[in-house]
Structure 1
Amino acid sequence: MNTPLRFIAGLWLGLGATATAAQTLDPAFQATELTQASEVEHVMQQADGKLVVSGGFVRANQMPVGPVVRYHADYSLDHAFNTNAASLQGMVVATRQLPSGKLLVIGEGPLKLGSVTRQDLLRLNSDGTPDPGFNAGSASVRLTGFITAALPNDQLLVAGNFTDYNGSGRNYLVRLLANGSIDNTFSPLPSTRPLPAWPCSPTAKSWWRGGSPTTT
């Protein structure tokens, strides 16, 4: 009767010794850095073929980046641009290239790069540095889900569910000058509700349908 008990006890002790050995650190093992996948919010192709990608990531091709990263046409990283834009803070949902080659960063809430902080709309120079000469202020409500279209001379059309923009009565649509101020010469037809179907421009590929934005 004692033999089976001794066998079981020996088996249990052997397994315990194996488990203890498995918990010992292996000095020869060099762990690599682990990163978590993040969603891409938007991809925009520039006129020169470069791709501007925005999302919640902090690395691209194992390199530290901000929420906006640019690739060359051959899909290699644009290191000069990415270095300048790496400290960008805020939630970025899309980007637009302006006729001048500058980039409009579209966010939800404050956007900060260097010493420049803007609400919802931040303009970058073509090299990724912030453009302090553009300040669009903010609408009477957060511009969540709003849409924009780039016009000649870096002017912008902005559509959303606002009825006031920077203290000026504007129903759902406003045109901004190149410095971000309201273009008071632009007077669209009055509307009592968000635009049901409004094409931003032939190149923006955005529409306002039933009060919700659609961007392709």
Structure 2
Amino acid sequence: MPRPDNLAEQVYTQLKADIFDFRLLPGDRFSEGDVAGRMDVSRTPVRQALYRLEKEGYVEVYFRSGWQVKAFDFAYFEELYDVRIVLELAAVSRLCRMEASDNSVLNALKGIWLVAEDERLQDPHEVSALDERFHCALVEATGNREMARMHYAITEQIRIIRRLDFTQAERIAATYQEHAHILEAILQRRSDVAQQLLTRHIELSKQAVREITLHRLQMARQAGPRPA
């Protein structure tokens, strides 16, 4: 029999996937009993999972009517993207001042992003993970652990919508091209160019993500009933 903490982890993982994949939509309400029945577990691991998701900002509790998936706050996401840009621009500026011998991280990124078209990955989940790693690696490569911690915290908050950027083939291709250009500018110590490219890259992604998210929400609502 699975341990209670393992059950809570399983419920948490499933509920988070339901939210991220739009099987549970912003505004959807449900009870602990609903989830327990669907997943064939007791209410205790469900409650533990929901409190964890509440702490992360994905759901909120209504003591008389159960739980609700939190509505997307696009103004908040915009602010997170703005802070992310500030941190990554600072990271790029520092990287362009570092010695070439300190570029092991950048050289590893070259092996992922500076590849021929037929070597590019096409799976949205894989590319999404690599994209997230690319941006986190740029900040981590500066050696500033506090900057990296702040950047990763923001990354986790925007992951729910950011991963949608890779549901379209043209965005995958654009990401490979844009990352390659950013890396080349950093390796050439062209700080101004690298920062301009990075800013445009993130702004385009932010715009695409918002449009895709709104479209996915509309399509999901039209699709009918979802899991409780």
Normalised by the length of structure 2, the TM-score is 0.22
Q: Which has the higher helix share?
A: 2
Which of structures 1 and 2 has the bigger CA Rg?
1
Q: Which has the higher strand share?
A: 1
